[in-house]
């Protein structure tokens, strides 16, 4: 199936061509026909699969077929969990609708509302919003949602994780009954299914990739490194590889700040992005990273969710996430749209169990390594019963392939002399 015969209009095809897309991605092939047929769609799609175009292209097509003249009410509402994702979706909507008489805007918190309100007053067809600011403007009677024909919940699982369930319910109550609903989520958790049941009308279920699988083209390596050595290892990796664009993840905002600071001191340009940063600082950090003004973006999970940085070659987990699903989202920042990428995890003594949890979720094993000169000093306990079926023996962390108790979860059987070169 090509874009030409998927049922999209000439003006939309022109915009798609301008983006340089040759063929629809698997998720696009699956969802576009359903959406064009007017169906509700519940789709599980990994980040980086082209899901934004998957819902935007057919939505634009339908909206443009019944274009309204005069003052435009909001006809399509796209809800996203984070400001960055909202801005990114808006950018996509703008480019895909370039040759159509439809307009769009984006609203989110953390910035003054004045400009957003002025834009809405002019009349817009498509509104991309985070839930908080949306409800704020509705409460102030500056925004009305009673003419919405399309509702899209993008990254709905993250919206629930971030505690937006109540806001979503409030927003649903503001919309007209008659509308088309699309829900995109990385996973089909029971909470997502429950939410879908609440507002969707006999939705078509679409799964573009197996749940929680990582993109095939990403090389995933885990280095067992003691916490104190992590920063040096990170700096060495970046320098030796002469890496120009690396996204580094931490679990805490404080650590993100610290690492960015230390990298800058080591003459590696870096910025941190997390929830405590002002929106201006977040936008600037992301823009600087995308335009390669800085080499390293250090991010926490929430801030980085949904970021689309084309051809991002390296993602480094400075700390592993304690929720295995977050790992999938993190490494989804690389290997996007079929490009290859590398995901590296620096695993400290107290994170070994997280590895087991992630591997269990992925159904695959990491390539495990230790680095000469940075051999871990602490011995690792075997994985806990909960993570990996148990195991009572404590072993030294050194190669011992012949041991009967050799445990696959240990980081002890591939040594890397240098950071690069002999991989
Ligand atoms: P998304 O999953 O929506 O964040 O999209 C990931 C990336 O894939 C974005 O940079 C899109 O511009 C790109 N993309 C979307 N659809 C296609 C396509 N059919 N062919 C190539 N790239 C695409």
Atom of ligand 1 nearest to the CA of 48: 2
Same-domain pairing of 111 and 254: no
Domain range for 45: 3-207
In this structure, are 281 and 175 located in the same domain? no
Are 87 and 142 in a shared domain?
yes
- Contact indicator for 1, 86 with CB cutoff of 8 Å: no
- For a mutational test of ligand 1's pocket, the pick from 1, 152, 337, i.e. the residue with the most ligand atoms closer than 8 A to its C-beta, is 337
Q: Look at residue 380 in the predicted model and tell me its pLDDT.
A: 59
Q: How far apart are CA 314 and CA 350, in angstroms?
A: 24
**Same structural domain, 229 and 102:** no
User: DSSP per residue over 368-416, as a string?
Assistant: EEEETT---SSPPPPPPHHHHS-------SS--TT-TT--TTSS-S-EE
Query: 160: CA distance to ligand 1 center in Å?
Result: 24
Q: Is residue 43 part of a domain?
A: yes
In this structure, the residues whose C-beta lies within 6 A of any atom of ligand 1 are 21, 24-25, 28, 47-53, 308, 310, 336-337
Length of the chain: 423
Distance 122 CA to ligand 1 centre (A): 30
pLDDT at 193: 92
Q: What percent of the residues of the chain are helix, what percent strand, and what percent coil, each to the nearest 5?
A: 40, 15, 45
Task: Assess whether 45 and 188 both reside in one domain.
Answer: yes
Is 373 contained in some domain?
Answer: yes
34 belongs to a structural domain:
yes
Q: Are residues 200 and 235 in the same domain?
A: no
Tell me what pLDDT residue 342 has.
83
Note whether residue 65 is domain-resident. Answer: yes
Residues of the chain with pLDDT under 70: 67-71, 209-217, 303-311, 333-340, 378-423
Q: Could you identify the residue written with the tokens 């094993």?
A: 365
Q: Which helix (H) or strand (E) holds 239?
A: helix 230-241
Q: Which atom of ligand 1 is nearest to the CA of 46?
A: 2
* pLDDT in the model for residue 280: 87
Using the 3D structure, point to which of 159, 180, 207 is the last residue of a domain: 207
The torsion angle over the Cα atoms of residues 402, 405, 411 and 417, rounded to 10 degrees, is: -20
Q: Domain holding 105: CATH number?
A: 3.40.50.300
CA of 53 to the centre of ligand 1 (A): 7
- Please tell me the total count of domains within the chain: 2
- Give the residue from 178, 207, 236 where a domain finishes: 207
> Ligand 1 centre from 50 Cα, in Å?
4
pLDDT (0 to 100) of residue 126: 97
The domain boundary, picked from 207, 240, 273, lies at 207
> Which pLDDT does position 382 carry in this prediction?
53
Testing ligand 1's pocket by substitution, the residue of 30, 31, 44, 50 carrying the most ligand atoms inside 8 A of its CB is 50
Same domain, 135 and 187: yes
The answer to the question of residue 213 being in a domain is no
* Radius of gyration, CA atoms only, the chain: 23
Pocket test for ligand 1, best of 2, 52, 54 (most atoms within 8 A of CB): 52
Q: Is 0.75 surpassed by the pTM of this model? A: no
Q: Both 153 and 248 in a single domain?
A: no
Q: Is residue 248 in some structural domain?
A: yes
Cα of 332 to ligand 1 centre, how many Å?
13
Tracing tokens 């949904």 back to the chain, one arrives at 306
> Which of 1, 19, 29, 53 should be mutated for ligand 1, with most atoms under 8 A from CB?
53
161 Ramachandran zone, left/alpha/beta (phi>0; psi -120 to 50): alpha
Rounded to whole angstroms, the Cα distance separating 314 from 233 reads 15
Same domain, yes or no: 194 and 319: no
In this structure, is residue 423 part of a structural domain? no
Q: Are residues 239 and 99 in the same domain?
A: no
Residues 287 and 360 in one domain: yes
In the DSSP assignment, the letter for residue 215 is P
Q: Is residue 117 part of a domain?
A: yes
pLDDT in tens, 297-328: 999 987 666 666 666 788 899 999 988 888 88
Close Cβ partners of 142 (under 8 Å, ≥ 6 residues apart) = 113, 117, 120, 121
Same domain, 308 and 180: no
């Amino acid at each position: 199936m090509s874009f030409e015969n998927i049922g999209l209009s000439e003006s939309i095809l022109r915009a798609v061509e301008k983006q340089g897309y040759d063929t629809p991605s698997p998720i696009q092939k699956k969802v576009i026909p359903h959406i064009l047929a007017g169906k509700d769609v519940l789709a599980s799609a990994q980040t980086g699969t082209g899901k934004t175009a998957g819902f935007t292209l057919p939505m634009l097509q339908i909206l443009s077929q019944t274009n309204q003249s005069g003052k435009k009410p909001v006809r399509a509402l796209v809800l996203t969990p984070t400001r960055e994702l909202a801005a990114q979706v808006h950018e996509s909507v703008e480019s895909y609708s370039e040759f159509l008489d439809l307009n769009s805007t984006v609203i989110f918190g953390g910035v003054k509302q004045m400009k957003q309100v002025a834009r809405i007053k002019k009349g817009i067809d498509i509104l991309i919003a985070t839930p908080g600011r949306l409800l704020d403007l509705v409460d102030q009677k500056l925004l009305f949602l009673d003419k919405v024909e399309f509702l899209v919940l993008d990254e709905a699982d993250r919206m629930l994780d971030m505690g937006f369930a109540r806001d979503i319910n409030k927003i649903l109550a503001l919309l007209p009954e008659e509308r088309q609903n699309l829900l995109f989520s990385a996973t089909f958790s029971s909470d997502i299914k429950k939410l879908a049941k609440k507002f969707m009308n006999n939705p078509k279920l679409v799964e573009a990739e197996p749940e929680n699988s990582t993109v095939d083209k990403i090389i995933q390596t885990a280095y067992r490194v003691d916490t104190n050595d992590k920063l040096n290892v990170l700096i060495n990796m970046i320098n030796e590889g002469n890496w120009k664009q690396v996204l580094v993840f931490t679990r805490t905002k404080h650590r993100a700040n610290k690492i960015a600071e230390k990298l800058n001191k080591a003459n590696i340009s870096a910025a941190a992005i997390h929830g405590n940063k002002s929106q201006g600082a977040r936008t600037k950090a992301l823009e600087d990273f995308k335009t390669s003004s800085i080499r390293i973006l250090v991010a926490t999970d929430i801030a980085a969710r949904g970021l689309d940085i084309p051809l991002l070659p390296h993602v480094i987990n400075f700390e592993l996430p304690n929720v295995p699903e977050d790992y999938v989202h993190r490494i989804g920042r690389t290997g996007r749209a079929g490009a290859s990428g590398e995901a590296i995890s620096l695993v400290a003594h107290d994170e070994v169990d997280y590895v087991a949890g992630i591997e269990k979720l992925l159904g695959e094993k990491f390539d495990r390594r230790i680095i000469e000169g940075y051999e871990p000093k602490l011995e690792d306990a075997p994985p806990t019963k909960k993570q990996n079926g148990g195991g009572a023996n404590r072993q030294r962390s050194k190669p011992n392939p012949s041991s009967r108790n050799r445990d696959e979860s240990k980081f002890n059987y591939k040594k890397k002399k240098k950071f690069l070169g002999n991989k």
